[in-house]
Structure 1
Amino acid sequence: MDTAVARPELLLVADAVAREKSIDREEVIEAMEQAIQKAGRAKYGSEKDIRATIDRKTGDVRLSRWTEAVEVVENEETQIPVHIARKFKPDIEVGGHLVDPLPPIDFGRIAAQTAKQVIVQRVREYERKKQYDEFKDRVGEIVNGLVKRTEYGNLMVELGRAEALLRRDELIPRESFRNGDRVRAYIYDVREEPRGPQIFLSRTHPAFLAKLFAQEVPEIYDGIIEIKAVSRDPGSRAKMAVISRDSSIDPVGACVGMRGSRVQAVVQELQGEKIDIIPWSAQAPTFVVNALAPAEVTKVVMDEEAGRVEVVVPDEQLSLAIGRRGQNVRLASQLTRWDIDILTEAEESERRQEEYRRRTGIFVEALDVDDMIAGLLVTEGFTSIEELAFTPADELSDIEGFDETVAAELISRADLFLQRRDVEMDDKRRELGVTDDIAGIESLTPAMLVQLGEKGIKTLDDLADLAGDELVEIVGEAAMTADDANAIIMSARAHWFTGDEPAAEEAGNA
């Protein structure tokens, strides 16, 4: 018995919706099938497995009930024992289905409304999925759109069939847009959220400036010139580092353009934002000097471990190097990814003299020598008594003004000073109540033991309860690495595993 109902108008509706919403016709027909299935379950039972199919050529609608053949029935509405199913379909196996055609249903007002809601919802989901698929690969592009409406200072921007959000904090300060205005922005994120795909735009993102230059400078678009880094103070000032792959092309000149035509086009789009274009360098000191332009730099001191760089500038260049409200040095720091400290020549000289006096004083007091000998040691680069004590005598005697006798005497005095200091520290450690168990850990010096005692770390259990970073903080990063700290703490914990040989052995190895 053929229970199909010819509904050719369904195909016409599907074609119209597919054209209007720019989605696939098949997806619209699938939405219609789900709507008819929902109406069928409302009539024949919501627990039953009711399925509907629409013929893609004729529009015939068929409604049927599917029942699964199983060994043990768990749901009588959708399952049937396989031995009974074989009475109707002899070749059926477990997991197969009996398909019973159902008579067509007449859509009442409520059923029709429900079906319409299902179709609209499904079409909206397909629309959202299509939008997400379209824009998820366009992150990093510049788009042009129309301001559709404003919500609490945020702009809703129409991008064809999609809608994007340009938040207030992603707008350049002091710029405003009205409904219907055209706006150019950078897609920095696309997320799939329950309410649909969310497209986020920005006009303050550093990459927005880089993309604008790529549109204005053919050499950047062709890959001859590469933009290595960008830092921005939106609406005020920006710095951009560029490098040329062709030695015959000046990257800065190419970005500026004839009489500044190229850079001015970008400046106008960014509401007058001043742009410093500087040559990028693989040498960090050179790059830092370039980034601080237009200020002149006389000296650069790098501290790679701390990621810091000290820059010395002439006294009259200090305000130019720092910039208004610290803008120049802040942008240079963001561009180079180095923390930049700026000193004048006078400040640097004063600090160097103070450091020289401090180190000289240490040697004078510890070794009982005059200022001249202490000054020679500091000038040669010695920074501590320990460093002097472990220096071979022949190396020390090579210093002009020192002979073998003086070198041997200085090393002897350094050793004697360290011994006296260790004894004093050991006595102080005992006064603080730090136990001999902790003192027995070879990696801990007498000075470290005193530091621990002053912080209340007096027993192995106290030490074992610390974390590695806490121990480093107590003794100082210069005296101990994180790995050393963890090894010491594991040694302190070894007594916790008494009787547990594998654990004790593991702690001992650590």
Structure 2
Amino acid sequence: MAVAGVSANRLELLTIADAVAREKNIDKEIVVEAIEEAIQKGAKSRYGAHHDIRAKIDIKSGEMALTRHVTVVADDWQPEDELEEFNDSAMVRLTDASKRDPEAFVGKEYIENLPPFEFGRVQTQMARQVVTGKVRDAERANQYEEFKDRVGEIVNGTVKRVEYGNTVVDLGRGEGIMRRNDSIPREVFNIGDRIRTYIYDVRAEAKGPQVMLSRSHPGFMAKLFAQEVPEVYDGVIEIRAAARDAGSRAKMAVLSNDSSIDPVGACVGMRGSRVQAVVAELQGEKIDIIQWNADEPTFIVNALAPAEVSKVVLDEEADRVEVVVPDEQLSLAIGRRGQNVRLASQLTGWQIDIITESQDSERRQREFSERTALFQEALDVDEVIAQLLVTEGFATVEDLAFVEPYEISDIEGFDEDTAEELQARARDFLDRQAAILDAKRVELGVQDEVMAVPGVTGAIAVALGEGGIKTVEDLADLATDEIRGGYEVKNGERTKVPGVLEAFNLAQEEAEMLILQARVAAGWIDASELPQPPEPEYEEELAEGEYDADAVFAAAPEGDEGEVVDDEVPAGDPDQPENA
């Protein structure tokens, strides 16, 4: 190997460096540095590894200098690393250097030129490994730089090989891999086939950069539409969300920034020409194109098309939505094997629960009966009064006990005296319940300090005691999964692990805050370390008697838990092309 021989012709070294740089598409300087390092290792192998030997090749002329360096160090020099020690072949102490050179100083280097030499078989093999390794590292760095900024692009390539269902694709200046689950089901490629794929990730790993390709990613479908629909490419139409069941069905939400352009019609094209081009690339995948809407309930209704929706109830804290559909629309809303509702859930980002109108009616009747019975027992009133309270929206005794009295007295047939009497009975009932719970807490051995933790009620304290949590320290030592419940894998099976407060349906944030408050009470952390709620933003003050409706709606949250959107929510334009 000519690059390994120090006595090689200087022009030959540059020619080799040029050829390797062009072939591997890397900088010539990198190849020259690799040759220098190879020569240095060969020289150290010949003269001794403890010597500080350096090789330098002039990248223009090809002239090479091989030198040995000795550095002057202080008399009290100490190694920075325990494994390092004084090297008398590469170092000389200042006192010893001054005997031979009066102008010696700490840091001065003495350089000795070494004669050219021929590499032996071992040095040649070593040099080959050094140069090959350096060139390979440079190739990997180049490939990473080439593709790291191309995530989200569609690339064309050629199938290089197929291994255990994974497809390796030659992208010209590198390779990418498409794993089995990133390909479209039942799609088979052979070596040499041309293929279009989507880059969804580029990872820098020890074995080299991994360009991850996919044909099942929702972004692949979105980019195909950008190629087929000029309005999408120009940004006039935005693809706001996409969800796919690769090879079977997909949903895509679009929005037009120009009121004169119908986003759905533009994506479908004349007689479906545009969408059919995408469908052909996706092996006949059925695509539902719907209009995106900033109003969450309307968007959810659109996403469930072609099913009709009667009512939508949002639970923003749990990111869940309950959708009521006519009985005959249930199978259509759910779809085959749950496909329609699953794609709608992925598209909107909400967990969607679907029930029928009859199920909703039965549940409401059951809740009405349960609440009526609760008020009859707690307040010692007849069925008519209890039903009136439930009809007016009172769901619990707490609701009744702590509202403003006028909210009760305004009910038809009630007066202020009735309201006062009902609230007194409600508070007496709550006091009795609290006393029962407190007695049970004491019986279970739950300490009084636990009750002082913000967020702990009598019912929660009893549940903690039944779960063996009896002190503030016990509560502070819990994890959120131990409170809310979770899953764990035993013997390869995923099993449900109940939480001590699972019945209370605490949100993740509520469970975390309960634990943090207990840690404050236990003295483990300071109250200043608790997360602070964001400060509300207020609009500019208006004159007395004035109000700004737009500001009121802008400052309001997007939706309250239990917000009901009834049949007035549009179920979509029946004349609008929905499928391809």
Q: 1:440 to 1:122 in 2, by over 3 A?
A: closer
Q: 1:409 to 1:80 in 2, by over 3 A?
A: same
Give the stretch that moved more between structures: 44-53 or 413-422.
413-422
Q: 1:435 to 1:114 in 2, by over 3 A?
A: closer
Identity %: 60
Alignment correspondent of 2:522: 493
Alignment correspondent of 1:301: 313
Alignment correspondent of 1:105: 117
- How far apart, CA to CA, are the structure 2 residues paired with 1:492 and 1:288? 43
- How far apart, CA to CA, are the structure 2 residues paired with 1:192 and 1:160? 19
Alignment correspondent of 1:242: 254
- How far apart, CA to CA, are the structure 1 residues paired with 2:158 and 2:516? 62
| Unpaired runs of at least 5, structure 2 | 1-5, 78-85, 485-498, 530-580
- How far apart, CA to CA, are the structure 1 residues paired with 2:105 and 2:129? 38
Tell me which of 17, 36, 45 is aligned to 2:20.
Answer: 17
CA contact (8 A) 2:453 2:518 kept: no
Between the two structures, name the one with larger relative contact order (CA 8 Å, sep ≥ 6): 2
Tell me which of 141, 152, 161 is aligned to 1:129.
Answer: 141
Report Cα offsets for 1:465-490 as digits up to 9, x if no partner: 55577567545246994466246634
Instruction: Give the C-alpha shift of residue 102 in structure 1.
Output: 0.8
- How far apart, CA to CA, are the structure 1 residues paired with 2:29 and 2:373? 87
Report Cα offsets for 1:3-47 as digits up to 9, x if no partner: 998522111222222222222122222222122212211211111
Tell me which of 185, 196, 199 is aligned to 2:197.
Answer: 185
CA contact (8 A) 1:230 1:238 kept: yes
CA contact (8 A) 2:478 2:515 kept: no
> Equivalences for 1:439-478 in 2 at 5 Å?
444-458=456-470, 466=478, 470=482, 474-475=500-501, 476-477=504-505
Instruction: Give the C-alpha shift of residue 437 in structure 1.
Output: 5.8
The code of the aligned residue for 1:47 comes to H
- How far apart, CA to CA, are the structure 2 residues paired with 1:106 and 1:274? 69
Alignment correspondent of 2:57: 54
Match of 1:297, SS state, is coil
Match of 1:305, SS state, is coil
Give the stretch that moved more between structures: 461-470 or 315-324.
461-470
Alignment correspondent of 1:151: 163
Instruction: Give the C-alpha shift of residue 119 in structure 1.
Output: 2.1
Alignment correspondent of 1:225: 237
Match of 2:414, SS state, is coil
Report Cα offsets for 1:477-504 as digits up to 9, x if no partner: 469944662466347636xx9xxxxx99
CA contact (8 A) 2:244 2:251 kept: yes
> Equivalences for 1:207-218 in 2 at 5 Å?
207-218=219-230
Match of 2:294, SS state, is coil
Alignment correspondent of 2:533: none
Instruction: Give the C-alpha shift of residue 446 in structure 1.
Output: 3.8
- How far apart, CA to CA, are the structure 1 residues paired with 2:17 and 2:177? 31
CA contact (8 A) 2:455 2:514 kept: no
Report Cα offsets for 1:198-247 as digits up to 9, x if no partner: 21111111111111111111111111111111111000001111111111
TM-score, length-scaled by structure 2: 0.79
- How far apart, CA to CA, are the structure 1 residues paired with 2:266 and 2:527? 66
CA contact (8 A) 1:207 1:230 kept: yes
Q: How many residues align?
A: 499
The code of the aligned residue for 1:489 comes to A
- How far apart, CA to CA, are the structure 1 residues paired with 2:58 and 2:448? 90
Match of 2:360, SS state, is helix
CA contact (8 A) 1:146 1:181 kept: yes
Tell me which of 274, 279, 287 is aligned to 1:262.
Answer: 274
Instruction: Give the C-alpha shift of residue 101 in structure 1.
Output: 0.5
Report Cα offsets for 1:139-198 as digits up to 9, x if no partner: 111111111111112111111131211111111000000011011111112222222222
Match of 1:239, SS state, is strand
- How far apart, CA to CA, are the structure 1 residues paired with 2:326 and 2:526? 61
Report Cα offsets for 1:85-111 as digits up to 9, x if no partner: 457766554223211101111233443
Report Cα offsets for 1:345-391 as digits up to 9, x if no partner: 11111111111111111111111212211111011111111221222
Match of 1:312, SS state, is strand
Instruction: Give the C-alpha shift of residue 253 in structure 1.
Output: 1.0
Q: 1:505 to 1:385 in 2, by over 3 A?
A: closer
CA contact (8 A) 2:473 2:519 kept: no
Give the stretch that moved more between structures: 335-344 or 7-16.
7-16
CA contact (8 A) 1:4 1:60 kept: no
The code of the aligned residue for 1:388 comes to L
Alignment correspondent of 2:323: 311
Match of 1:52, SS state, is strand
Instruction: Give the C-alpha shift of residue 439 in structure 1.
Output: 5.8
Q: 1:340 to 1:471 in 2, by over 3 A?
A: closer
Give the stretch that moved more between structures: 103-112 or 211-220.
103-112
Alignment correspondent of 2:74: 71
Instruction: Give the C-alpha shift of residue 114 in structure 1.
Output: 2.9
Instruction: Give the C-alpha shift of residue 423 in structure 1.
Output: 3.3
**Quick check: 1:164 aligned with 2:176?**
yes
**Quick check: 1:45 aligned with 2:74?**
no
**Quick check: 1:390 aligned with 2:402?**
yes
Alignment correspondent of 2:287: 275
The code of the aligned residue for 1:134 comes to E
Give the stretch that moved more between structures: 22-31 or 301-310.
22-31
Tell me which of 333, 341, 344 is aligned to 1:329.
Answer: 341
Give the stretch that moved more between structures: 30-39 or 467-476.
467-476
- How far apart, CA to CA, are the structure 1 residues paired with 2:244 and 2:397? 47
Q: 1:270 to 1:464 in 2, by over 3 A?
A: closer
- How far apart, CA to CA, are the structure 2 residues paired with 1:109 and 1:441? 77
CA contact (8 A) 1:291 1:332 kept: yes
Q: 1:441 to 1:183 in 2, by over 3 A?
A: closer
- How far apart, CA to CA, are the structure 1 residues paired with 2:518 and 2:414? 44
Q: 1:430 to 1:39 in 2, by over 3 A?
A: closer
CA contact (8 A) 1:6 1:58 kept: no
Give the stretch that moved more between structures: 141-150 or 319-328.
141-150
Instruction: Give the C-alpha shift of residue 445 in structure 1.
Output: 4.1
CA contact (8 A) 2:37 2:130 kept: yes
Give the stretch that moved more between structures: 206-215 or 118-127.
118-127
The code of the aligned residue for 1:333 comes to S
The code of the aligned residue for 1:104 comes to P
CA contact (8 A) 2:218 2:243 kept: yes
- How far apart, CA to CA, are the structure 2 residues paired with 1:40 and 1:215? 58
CA contact (8 A) 2:269 2:275 kept: yes
Q: 1:198 to 1:89 in 2, by over 3 A?
A: farther
> Equivalences for 1:351-370 in 2 at 5 Å?
351-370=363-382
Match of 2:394, SS state, is coil
The code of the aligned residue for 2:375 comes to F
Alignment correspondent of 1:500: none
- How far apart, CA to CA, are the structure 1 residues paired with 2:527 and 2:291? 57
Instruction: Give the C-alpha shift of residue 133 in structure 1.
Output: 1.4
Report Cα offsets for 1:379-436 as digits up to 9, x if no partner: 1111111221222323311111212232222122212222333333344444445455
- How far apart, CA to CA, are the structure 2 residues paired with 1:35 and 1:504? 59
Give the stretch that moved more between structures: 164-173 or 458-467.
458-467
Give the stretch that moved more between structures: 426-435 or 259-268.
426-435
The code of the aligned residue for 1:454 comes to E
